[in-house]
Structure 1
Amino acid sequence: MTTPGPTGVLVVDKPGGMTSHDVVSRVRRALGTRKVGHAGTLDPMATGVLVLGVGRATKLLGQLTLTTKAYDARLRLGVATTTDDAEGEPLGGTADTSGLAPGEVTGALTAMVGELDQVPSAVSAVKVDGKRAYARVRDGETVVLPPRRVLVHSLDVAEVAVPEVAFSVRCSSGTYVRAIARDAGEALGVGGHLVALRRTEVGPFTLDDATTLDDVTADALLTMEQTVARCFPVVRLDAAGVTDVRHGRAVARTWPDEGPVAVLDDATGTFLALYAARDDHTARAVTVFAPA
Structure 2
Amino acid sequence: MTTTSEPIVADGIVVVDKPAGLTSHTVVARVRRLAGTRKVGHAGTLDPMATGVLVVGVNRATRLLGHLQLADKSYDATMLLGATTTTDDAEGELLTQASPEALAAVTEAAIEAELPAFRGEISQIPSKVSAIKVDGKRAYERVRAGEEIELKPRSVTISRYDVLAVRRGEQGVEVDISVDCSSGTYIRALARDLGARLGVGGHLTALRRTRVGGFGLTAAHTLEELGEQFALLPIADVAAETFPRFDADAEQEAAIRTGRPLAGLKLSAGETAMFAPDGTFLALYSAQGPLAKPSAVFVG
Q: TM-score range by the shorter chain?
A: over 0.9
Counterpart of 2:4 in structure 1 is none
Q: Is the 8 A contact 1:48 1:207 kept in 2?
A: yes
CA distance in structure 2 between the partners assigned to 1:158 and 1:50 by the alignment: 24
Aligned equivalent of 1:196, options 190, 195, 206: 206
Counterpart of 1:56 in structure 2 is 60
Aligned pairs for 1:200-215 (under 5 A) are: 200-215=210-225
1:286 maps to amino acid: S
Q: Match of 1:92, SS?
A: strand
Aligned pairs for 1:66-215 (under 5 A) are: 66-96=70-100, 97-162=103-168, 163-215=173-225
Once the two structures are superposed, residues 51-85 of structure 1 have per-residue CA deviations (whole angstroms, 9 ceiling, x without a partner) of 00111111111221101000001110100111111
Q: Which moved more, 1:121-130 or 1:14-23?
A: 121-130
Runs of 4+ in 1 over 6 A off after TM superposition: none
1:221 maps to amino acid: L
Q: How far 1:290 sits from its partner (Å)?
A: 1.2
Q: Is the 8 A contact 1:154 1:171 kept in 2?
A: yes
Size of the alignment, in residue pairs?
287
Q: Which moved more, 1:214-223 or 1:82-91?
A: 214-223
CA distance in structure 2 between the partners assigned to 1:187 and 1:253 by the alignment: 57
TM, length-normalised to structure 2: 0.91
Counterpart of 2:298 in structure 1 is 289
Once the two structures are superposed, residues 171-221 of structure 1 have per-residue CA deviations (whole angstroms, 9 ceiling, x without a partner) of 001111111111100000000001011000000000001011012157401
Q: How far 1:130 sits from its partner (Å)?
A: 2.5
Taking a change above 3 Å as real, the CA distance of residues 22 and 106 of structure 1, as seen in their structure-2 partners, is same
Q: How far 1:11 sits from its partner (Å)?
A: 0.2
Once the two structures are superposed, residues 105-144 of structure 1 have per-residue CA deviations (whole angstroms, 9 ceiling, x without a partner) of 1222343110100000011111222322112222222121
Taking a change above 3 Å as real, the CA distance of residues 151 and 253 of structure 1, as seen in their structure-2 partners, is farther
Q: Do residues 22 (structure 1) and 26 (structure 2) align?
A: yes
Q: Is the 8 A contact 1:200 1:206 kept in 2?
A: yes
Q: How far 1:286 sits from its partner (Å)?
A: 1.0
What runs of 5+ residues in structure 2 fail to find an aligned partner? 1-6
1:196 maps to amino acid: A
CA distance in structure 2 between the partners assigned to 1:105 and 1:254 by the alignment: 54
Aligned equivalent of 1:7, options 11, 35, 58: 11
CA distance in structure 2 between the partners assigned to 1:244 and 1:71 by the alignment: 43
2:13 maps to amino acid: V
Q: Match of 1:183, SS?
A: helix
CA distance in structure 1 between the partners assigned to 2:109 and 2:164 by the alignment: 12
Q: Which moved more, 1:250-259 or 1:111-120?
A: 250-259
CA distance in structure 1 between the partners assigned to 2:143 and 2:246 by the alignment: 47
CA distance in structure 1 between the partners assigned to 2:112 and 2:261 by the alignment: 53
Aligned equivalent of 1:246, options 250, 257, 261: 257
Q: Is the 8 A contact 1:124 1:134 kept in 2?
A: yes
Q: Is the 8 A contact 1:79 1:95 kept in 2?
A: no
Q: Which moved more, 1:118-127 or 1:213-222?
A: 213-222
Once the two structures are superposed, residues 72-103 of structure 1 have per-residue CA deviations (whole angstroms, 9 ceiling, x without a partner) of 01110100111111111111234431232211
Q: Is the 8 A contact 2:34 2:230 kept in 1?
A: no
Taking a change above 3 Å as real, the CA distance of residues 4 and 20 of structure 1, as seen in their structure-2 partners, is closer
Q: Which moved more, 1:250-259 or 1:48-57?
A: 250-259
Q: Is the 8 A contact 2:8 2:35 kept in 1?
A: no
Q: How far 1:231 sits from its partner (Å)?
A: 2.4
Aligned equivalent of 1:42, options 46, 67, 71: 46
State the percentage of identical aligned residues: 53
Q: Is the 8 A contact 1:49 1:207 kept in 2?
A: yes
What runs of 5+ residues in structure 1 fail to find an aligned partner? none
